[in-house]
Amino acid sequence: MHRRQTILFGWFMVSMFILLGTVSAQSSLVANITRDDEHLSSYSSNSYIADLEAGHWTVVIISDSFWDLEVKITVATDSGYSNVIAESGTDFGNYPRVDFDLASSSTVYILVEENSVYSDTSGFYRIGVYDDSHIPGFFESLSFFDIVILISILSILVPIIICVVALRRSRRTRMHQRRMDSVLVEAPMHAMPDDYKGSVQTHGSRTTTVRLPVECPSCGAQVSHESVDWTGPLEAQCNYCGATMRATFERV
């Protein structure tokens, strides 16, 4: 008799332990408030309970990419999850978001399960159930680890972009300055490069337009463009010091 009582008492304690474990595992979720520092390990699941009003709702799980956690969400109207109203996925993989509609105010039960192929992922996450006006935006959905990665990428890209913009602006400035310090003139046929002579129709054609400096690069004297002494293809001679000035072909 005593042995039978001992066995019955043992079964009672085990049943109470299982019941208490089940109850304690059902953590409360408050609408539109994120629950932080939740943890899921291999072959495990977490259960939540939430009292929601009628409307459209979305359950969102945010986990650091560092953890590589894969989850699946099930929403039901009973703690045994026999009356399922929404599932985030039906296969292995990561399904961290699911939405559902409630026709009236109800208590819902939310099951979060580790959902990798080999049930070998684990990690911390944040969870919340939100109405349409409180769903986390892009930056709100970023985890701390993701923010660090984003800042690291931006710290590399931003200086590169600034340098590219500065170089392009400097190039435009130099081109503008070169244009300010030069003038367009018409060159004779013998002053044109061989590559462009085939496209020249007559002397004075627009295809013979070249650009010469306003001042001689050697002596600084003003160049008289009306009496330029052309000495070769895109080469002219300074009338004062005899130095050779280079002309540039201008496409117009």
Residues linked to residue 128 through DSSP beta bridges, in sequence order: 60
Residue-range domain boundaries for the chain: 2-141, 144-177, 181-249
Residue range 112-125, pLDDT digits in tens: 999 999 999 999 99
**How would residue 143 be classed by pLDDT, with cut points 50, 70 and 90?**
low
Q: Tell me the whole-structure pTM to 2 decimals.
A: 0.53
CATH of domain 2-141: 2.60.120.380
* Sheet-wide strand order for 55-63: 35-40, 123-130, 55-63, 97-102
Question: DSSP assignment of 171-188, as one string?
Answer: HHHHHHHHHHTEEEEEPP
How does pLDDT run across 170-207, given as a tens digit for each residue? 776 665 555 556 777 777 777 777 766 655 544 444 46
